[in-house]
Amino acid sequence: MPTRYIGRDPIFKGKSLYEIARQLRNLGVGRIVYRQSQATRWPGQKTYFRLTKVVPDATCKEFKQGVAWGQEVFRGKARGITEITTGHKYDWVLVPKNEEKSFSEETEVFEVEESSVPKHIDCPPLLKIVLQKDLTAAGQPVPEKIELPFLSETYIKDLEWKWKS
Protein backbone atom coordinates (compact mmCIF):
# COMPACT_ATOMS: atom_id res chain seq x y z
CA MET A 1 0.00 0.00 0.00
CA PRO A 2 1.58 3.33 -1.03
CA THR A 3 2.01 5.82 1.78
CA ARG A 4 1.16 9.48 1.31
CA TYR A 5 2.59 11.87 3.89
CA ILE A 6 0.44 14.91 4.55
CA GLY A 7 2.43 17.85 5.86
CA ARG A 8 4.69 20.73 4.96
CA ASP A 9 7.36 20.28 2.30
CA PRO A 10 10.77 19.28 3.66
CA ILE A 11 13.25 22.07 4.34
CA PHE A 12 16.35 19.90 4.76
CA LYS A 13 17.62 17.21 2.43
CA GLY A 14 20.27 15.36 4.41
CA LYS A 15 20.91 13.40 7.57
CA SER A 16 21.57 14.47 11.13
CA LEU A 17 25.23 14.83 12.03
CA TYR A 18 24.91 12.24 14.79
CA GLU A 19 23.41 9.65 12.44
CA ILE A 20 26.43 10.05 10.16
CA ALA A 21 28.84 9.94 13.11
CA ARG A 22 27.33 6.77 14.57
CA GLN A 23 27.91 4.93 11.31
CA LEU A 24 31.60 5.75 11.36
CA ARG A 25 34.44 4.24 13.33
CA ASN A 26 35.82 6.71 15.86
CA LEU A 27 32.55 8.68 15.43
CA GLY A 28 33.83 10.38 12.29
CA VAL A 29 36.61 12.36 13.96
CA GLY A 30 38.84 13.80 11.24
CA ARG A 31 36.17 13.61 8.55
CA ILE A 32 34.67 16.59 6.72
CA VAL A 33 30.96 17.32 6.92
CA TYR A 34 28.93 20.19 5.55
CA ARG A 35 25.37 21.44 5.57
CA GLN A 36 23.44 21.01 2.35
CA SER A 37 21.52 24.26 2.78
CA GLN A 38 24.71 26.31 3.25
CA ALA A 39 26.31 24.70 0.20
CA THR A 40 23.27 25.71 -1.85
CA ARG A 41 23.20 29.20 -0.39
CA TRP A 42 26.89 30.03 -0.95
CA PRO A 43 28.08 27.65 -3.67
CA GLY A 44 31.36 29.52 -4.28
CA GLN A 45 32.27 29.95 -0.63
CA LYS A 46 32.86 26.66 1.17
CA THR A 47 31.31 26.19 4.58
CA TYR A 48 32.25 22.98 6.36
CA PHE A 49 33.57 21.38 9.55
CA ARG A 50 36.42 18.95 10.01
CA LEU A 51 35.20 17.02 13.06
CA THR A 52 37.43 17.01 16.14
CA LYS A 53 35.09 15.59 18.78
CA VAL A 54 31.63 14.08 18.60
CA VAL A 55 29.55 12.92 21.56
CA PRO A 56 26.18 11.73 20.29
CA ASP A 57 23.36 10.99 22.70
CA ALA A 58 23.32 7.20 22.43
CA THR A 59 19.87 6.93 23.99
CA CYS A 60 18.22 9.04 21.26
CA LYS A 61 16.79 6.68 18.66
CA GLU A 62 16.31 9.43 16.08
CA PHE A 63 19.98 10.51 16.31
CA LYS A 64 18.93 14.09 16.95
CA GLN A 65 20.83 14.86 20.14
CA GLY A 66 24.45 15.25 21.08
CA VAL A 67 27.33 17.68 21.03
CA ALA A 68 30.11 18.06 18.49
CA TRP A 69 33.10 20.24 17.78
CA GLY A 70 35.07 20.80 14.62
CA GLN A 71 37.47 23.04 12.77
CA GLU A 72 35.08 25.42 11.10
CA VAL A 73 35.48 27.05 7.71
CA PHE A 74 32.66 29.55 7.24
CA ARG A 75 32.24 30.92 3.72
CA GLY A 76 35.87 30.17 2.92
CA LYS A 77 37.28 31.66 6.11
CA ALA A 78 38.85 29.42 8.81
CA ARG A 79 37.39 30.11 12.25
CA GLY A 80 39.24 27.56 14.39
CA ILE A 81 37.62 24.88 16.55
CA THR A 82 34.01 25.75 17.32
CA GLU A 83 31.01 23.93 18.72
CA ILE A 84 28.50 22.64 16.18
CA THR A 85 25.08 23.71 17.37
CA THR A 86 23.02 22.46 14.44
CA GLY A 87 24.01 18.79 14.48
CA HIS A 88 20.40 17.72 15.07
CA LYS A 89 19.15 19.11 11.75
CA TYR A 90 18.61 16.66 8.88
CA ASP A 91 20.88 18.73 6.70
CA TRP A 92 24.35 17.18 6.94
CA VAL A 93 26.39 15.51 4.25
CA LEU A 94 29.63 13.55 4.64
CA VAL A 95 32.41 14.28 2.15
CA PRO A 96 34.00 11.08 0.76
CA LYS A 97 37.65 10.69 1.76
CA ASN A 98 38.94 10.76 -1.80
CA GLU A 99 37.15 14.06 -2.42
CA GLU A 100 38.29 15.76 0.80
CA LYS A 101 41.39 17.30 -0.73
CA SER A 102 39.60 18.88 -3.67
CA PHE A 103 36.65 19.87 -1.45
CA SER A 104 38.78 21.70 1.12
CA GLU A 105 40.85 23.58 -1.44
CA GLU A 106 40.80 27.30 -0.83
CA THR A 107 38.00 28.98 -2.71
CA GLU A 108 36.35 32.36 -2.67
CA VAL A 109 36.52 33.95 0.79
CA PHE A 110 33.73 36.11 2.11
CA GLU A 111 35.18 39.25 3.68
CA VAL A 112 33.02 40.79 6.38
CA GLU A 113 32.88 44.59 6.03
CA GLU A 114 33.68 46.49 9.20
CA SER A 115 30.48 48.16 10.32
CA SER A 116 31.03 51.91 10.99
CA VAL A 117 29.14 52.55 14.20
CA PRO A 118 29.68 56.20 15.33
CA LYS A 119 31.20 56.67 18.76
CA HIS A 120 29.67 60.14 19.27
CA ILE A 121 26.46 61.86 18.17
CA ASP A 122 25.50 65.53 17.91
CA CYS A 123 23.96 67.06 20.99
CA PRO A 124 20.21 67.89 20.73
CA PRO A 125 19.66 71.74 20.40
CA LEU A 126 17.88 72.35 23.71
CA LEU A 127 20.36 70.27 25.69
CA LYS A 128 23.17 72.11 23.86
CA ILE A 129 21.85 75.52 25.08
CA VAL A 130 21.46 74.22 28.65
CA LEU A 131 25.00 72.77 28.67
CA GLN A 132 26.46 76.01 27.22
CA LYS A 133 24.70 78.03 29.95
CA ASP A 134 25.91 75.67 32.69
CA LEU A 135 29.50 75.81 31.45
CA THR A 136 29.41 79.64 31.21
CA ALA A 137 27.98 79.85 34.73
CA ALA A 138 30.70 77.57 36.04
CA GLY A 139 33.32 79.73 34.34
CA GLN A 140 34.57 76.95 32.09
CA PRO A 141 35.42 77.38 28.38
CA VAL A 142 32.55 76.45 26.06
CA PRO A 143 33.60 74.17 23.14
CA GLU A 144 32.40 74.99 19.61
CA LYS A 145 30.86 71.57 19.04
CA ILE A 146 29.23 69.63 21.85
CA GLU A 147 28.95 65.87 21.28
CA LEU A 148 27.47 63.08 23.35
CA PRO A 149 28.85 59.49 23.51
CA PHE A 150 26.74 57.10 21.42
CA LEU A 151 25.45 54.03 23.20
CA SER A 152 24.04 51.33 20.92
CA GLU A 153 20.82 49.57 21.83
CA THR A 154 22.64 46.29 22.33
CA TYR A 155 25.09 47.93 24.72
CA ILE A 156 22.24 49.47 26.70
CA LYS A 157 20.44 46.13 26.86
CA ASP A 158 23.63 44.49 28.12
CA LEU A 159 23.99 47.13 30.80
CA GLU A 160 20.37 46.75 31.86
CA TRP A 161 20.77 43.00 32.06
CA LYS A 162 23.89 43.42 34.20
CA TRP A 163 22.18 45.85 36.54
CA LYS A 164 19.17 43.58 36.91
CA SER A 165 21.31 40.55 37.68
Partner 1 sequence: MATSLRQIALLGRQTWRQLKVISLGRKFSTTSKRMLLSETYYCNDAWRKHLQDPNLNQVNVAEFGYQIRDQLEMSGTVSAIDMNVLVHQLRNMDDDEADFIEDLLARFNMCQSSIPPSDSTAHAIIRSFLTKSYDGSARLVRLLSQPLQYGLFPDHYSLNLLLDKLIDSGDPAGASRVAYHTMLQEDLSSNPVHTLLCLQAAVARVLQGPISDLALPEPEKVEDEEEDWIKVKYIKFPVYDDHFDIKDERFLLGKTLHMLAQVQTPKCPELIVTSLGLIGSGIHHKFSQGLAVLEKVVDSSSGSVPLQALELFSESLESVQARDPEEPEVEIALRTVDDVIHRLLPTTEEKDEFQRRFGQLKEKLVSQEKIQEDFDLGPAVKDFVRSELPNYEKSDIEEQINKFSQWQRERESELTHQVEELMKNQRMEEIKKQVKELQEQEELLSYFDFEEKIRLTMMDEDLAKDENLTIAK
> Which spans of this chain sit near partner 1 (rule: CB under 8 A)?
1-15, 19-20, 22-27, 55-59, 61, 63, 90, 93-94, 96-98
How many CB atoms lie under 10 A from the CB of residue 87? 27
**How far apart are CB 89 and partner 1 at their closest, in Å?**
11
- Pick 31 or 75: Cβ nearer partner 1: 31
Stretch (H or E) spanning 132: helix 125-138
Q: How far apart are CA 92 and CA 104, in angstroms?
A: 16
- Pick 3 or 154: Cβ nearer partner 1: 3
**How far apart are CB 52 and partner 1 at their closest, in Å?**
13
- Pick 77 or 89: Cβ nearer partner 1: 89
**How far apart are CB 80 and partner 1 at their closest, in Å?**
23
- Would you say 51 and 29 are in contact if contact means Cβ atoms under 8 Å apart? yes
| Structural Rg of the chain based on CA atoms | 26
Name the region of 37 (left: φ>0; alpha: ψ -120 to 50; beta: rest).
alpha
**How far apart are CB 40 and partner 1 at their closest, in Å?**
13
Q: How far apart are CA 165 and CA 156, in angstroms?
A: 14
- Pick 24 or 146: Cβ nearer partner 1: 24
- Pick 22 or 128: Cβ nearer partner 1: 22
**How far apart are CB 48 and partner 1 at their closest, in Å?**
16
- Would you say 150 and 117 are in contact if contact means Cβ atoms under 8 Å apart? yes
